[in-house]
Structure 1
């Protein structure tokens, strides 16, 4: 059972998300919070698997709340996955959420099936890389940052196959799509992804995508 916490300052949004999630047999909503500060407190107490976090909220915004839950200053043994809820303004809040450790982004007006899928994907340990959001967001994010020379050196520690898998990950491809493109099994793809994250000391696929752009393995505007 996936345990979810909804953090949003709009009660109607919280009610709508709760209704969608609780219509599923494998998801339960363990709590709600109307600002980031309460979201952090309730996450630490309720220990959800996934926190659906609004970006802009009073008292403490979603970015600061995500940092509190996932950043170095967090001393909690339990680390939830954070799924950011956004209207997609491509603002600095979203860019910084990548660095804060968010595992995905979803639009507030997404279809119910997309929301449910997002929660399941994030709860399963993967990052949600919706093509409608993430590629443009990450390209804009990376264009504002200097090339990572140390990261480029780290690429040398990957095998040729792992570099190709990372390149496809950076285009937002799912494990199934990567497997089909490289004519390998999905389980083999999962193994490659795990080894890539381990070798590069990355948290999840979002960080892997950012790494791919920052090191020049993939360049903004290029095609898969």
Structure 2
């Protein structure tokens, strides 16, 4: 453990961006803040350039504040589908170009379970899986606005997800509040009522202390980010 401290999600994001820029094969990353008016405590995402905003369809490295911790994660999003799409702008309408669709295929063929296993080995500590599901509702200019939400937390173990708990003001799908096989997650999600209207955030990562001594940026990159760069 290093004595490096990060005062905010943005501070860690900029440190990791600098690491990527000085790799033997430099990687140019951009930073998106969830709400630039709430800096520096707003969640941030790192993704390879070039990119566009919003970047819902892209896989990203997310850094979310959670009390006195930072959840550093590889993450993807599910947008609206089917009949719901007519109520939203194109950037919120999920199609085959979204990373979510690639992820579903890797769930089914077992490739994602293998990647999580490799990422766990690289991290040298247990990973955490977080899923946030909410109902997308149209508002001015067709943007989405999640109302309520359900958050599930698991710890991956081999090809399974061991349930750790849930929070949120609503339960859209009670079948998610249990341990299950990674390969079944896509099917279980699809059984959610009004799934076409659901917006889902899915992430795999680790919790790091906020404002306290933790790993140096290069070590964070090597242990927790490197296993996911092929998605960026």
Q: Identify whether the pair has TM-score above 0.5, normalized to the shorter chain.
A: no
Looking at secondary structure, tell me which structure has more strand per residue: 2
Looking at secondary structure, tell me which structure has more helix per residue: 1
